[in-house]
Amino acid sequence: MSAMSKIIPELSKLEPLDGNNYKRWSQKLLVFFEQLKVDYVLFNDPPKPVVPTDVETTPTAATVVKTTDDAIKKFEKDNKTARCHLLNHMTNILFDLFAPNKSAKVIWDSLESKYRLDDAGKKKYVVGKWLQFIMEDGKPIVINEEMKLCVVFLANVLLEKFPPSRSDYRKVLKHKKKDMSLQELIGHMRIEEANRLNKSSC
Same domain membership, residue 106 and residue 29: yes
pLDDT tens-digit map of 18-36: 888 888 899 899 999 999 9
d(CA 144, CA 129) in angstroms, rounded, equals 12
Q: Which of 70, 103, 122 corresponds to the end of one domain?
A: 122
pLDDT tens-digit map of 146-188: 444 566 666 777 777 777 777 777 777 777 666 667 677 777 7
Same domain membership, residue 114 and residue 18: yes
Which domain covers residue 32, as residue numbers? 3-122
In this prediction, residue 193 carries a pLDDT of 74
Cα separation values, 57 from 47, 65, 69, 84, Å: 22, 11, 16, 39
Residue 20's identity, in one-letter code, is N
Containing 70, the helix (H) or strand (E) segment is helix 59-88
Q: Total domain count for the chain?
A: 2
Considering the chain, what percentage of its residues have pLDDT values greater than 70? 59
Which has the closest alpha carbon to 182: 154, 148, 142, 146? 154
